[in-house]
Structure 1
Amino acid sequence: MATPVPPVPLASGRDAEVFALDDHRVLRRYRNFCDTASEAAAMAHAARHGYPVPEVHRAQGRELEMERLYGPTMLDASLDGLISPEESSRILAELHERLHALPGRKGSGQDRLLHMDLHPGNVVLAPRGPVVIDWTNARDGAPDLDLALTALLLALTGDSTDPPLAGLAEACLAPYVGHVKGDPTRLIDEVVTLRSDDPNLTPEEIALRPRAADLVRKAWAAQVH
């Protein structure tokens, strides 16, 4: 009998670690207990309607086994100069537009599936095109909530102490709000409140939220709609 090959670490984030199981599958394992069924259900809904997500093979407890993707994240590609901030912003806006055009999961209401963490680090530039990963925070709601969160994340990252990362995020904010089909400021205060519940935020990030929200409002006001 062949000896099982142990999973190979691929990535590590604040909440979870990702391991390669083989050439085609990865395992995302959360550090704290959670039920990945809701994340898998959101991805399955998106996939059924042709939205680009990794295929889910298994969701059990804090483990999620998925299709292994090849290619850089849009964040890494942008930092390496392979894609411009303008192009990155356009892709983010288009991914949001496609997601919010999907049929809602609750019948004929106005709510749509929201990703609630869509930023360049959660988009993989795979051979088949951009693929959206990390659906941990997915929920149903108003599309403008999704847009507001992405804009806020870009504004917050623009104040990062990492100069290349801060410069990229700052360069993405204005074109992003210019491309989106919606109003990223309408629910910005609600997003600021939602972010206050994130246990991963540092005190510095919490303190920057009001300034980041103002940056989003200014970027939106500067656009001609």
Structure 2
Amino acid sequence: MSDLPPVTDEPPGPLLARGREATVHELGPGRVLRRYDDARDVTTEVTVMRHVARHGVRVPHVHAVRPDADGRLTGMVLERLDGPTLVEAALAGAVEPGDAGRLLARLHADLHRVPVDGLPTDLGPPAREPGHVVVHLDLHPANVVLVRGEPVVIDWAIARTGPATLDTAMTALTLACAVVDGVPADAGDVARLGVPTWFVTTVLDAYLAALPEPPTPSLDRAAAIRDTFGAHPPGVVQAGAEVVRLALDAIARR
């Protein structure tokens, strides 16, 4: 990183990636600029990323936070990650779908071991309680980039502190909703990959089987949160929650 030129206010270059709410632009050697379509402040996201990075979780290095014309901190100058997302690698046959699910479970376990001390106490909702951990809340195969084969977790927009089962329930629901309704058309680059239902089902099953505890205690709460995203037609999130429950029942009977 130290060999890179200083961060400047140069305009962003070509579009490299698009998610549901954000774009990533080239910004000189080894760097990209990530901004949200709604020009939201990124201070909290950067705080969480730097905190988990200090405790060994691999995230894009944050070089700087860039203000917009009004002085609001809306842009992140990040390390450029060269490599496929986990979903791209799995669809290409470089990673087995079951291994992708187990990797998600391992990444959650690593994250949930990070101490919350040093993070703002009001990082929520919910208000922090004993036993709360750092939760990503959007950890799925399109938000993991494989750099030289090693996983890097991206998109920390809604990360906070909370129950570990809320984090795993959110991931399970994301996968289950894709089983029910497919990947949303406005999900960004992943929507163009043509992810088949059998693939997501395999990832979900392996993920749930690898968790140290089922996400059931937080499933209803996660469904209420995911419903606010507006990513799926009415009823899909509840149907996804039922898919998760049925999968957990099947796993328990093995």
TM-score by length of 1: 0.91
Residue equivalent to 2:238: 210
CA distance in 1, matches of 2:210, 2:23: 33
Q: 1:40 to 1:86 in 2, by over 3 A?
A: same
TM-superposed CA distance for 1:65, in Å, is 1.0
* Residue 119 (structure 1) aligned to one of 136, 140, 144: 140
- The residue identity in structure 1 corresponding to 2:174 is L
SS at match of 1:140: strand
For the residues of structure 1 that align with 2:137 and 2:179, how far apart are their CA atoms?
19
Moved over 4 A (4+): none
Correspondence list, 1:1-225, <5 A: 6-60=12-66, 61-105=73-117, 106=121, 109-127=130-148, 129-161=150-182, 164-199=195-230, 201-202=231-232, 204=233, 206-224=234-252
Counterpart residue identity of residue 179, structure 2: G
Distance in 2 separating the partners of 1:182 and 1:66: 34
Mapped contact 1:32–1:62 kept (Cα < 8 A): no
Q: Is the 8 A contact 1:74 1:123 kept in 2?
A: yes
Give 5+ residue unaligned stretches, structure 1.
none
Cα separation, partners in 2 of 1:6 and 1:184, compared to 1, 3 Å: closer
Contact 1:192 1:210 in 2 (8 A): yes
Q: Distance in 2 between matches of 1:78 and 1:100?
A: 25
How far off its partner does 1:108 sit?
9.0
Unaligned runs of 5+ in 2: 1-9, 67-72, 122-127, 184-193
One-letter amino acid matched to 1:198: F
For the aligned residues, what is the CA RMSD?
Answer: 2.0
Greater CA deviation, 4-13 or 108-117?
Answer: 4-13
Task: Give the distance between the partners of 2:195 and 2:225, measured in 1 at CA.
Answer: 27
Contact 1:56 1:64 in 2 (8 A): yes
Counterpart residue type for residue 24 of structure 1: G
Q: Distance in 2 between matches of 1:147 and 1:188?
A: 9
CA contact (8 A) 2:180 2:239 kept: no
Q: TM-score normalised to the size of structure 2?
A: 0.81
| Count of residues in Structure 1 that have an aligned counterpart in Structure 2 | 219
CA 1:161–1:153: 2 relative to 1, 3 Å: closer
- Deviation of the 1:97 alpha carbon: 0.3
Tell me, what secondary structure is at the counterpart of 1:159?
helix
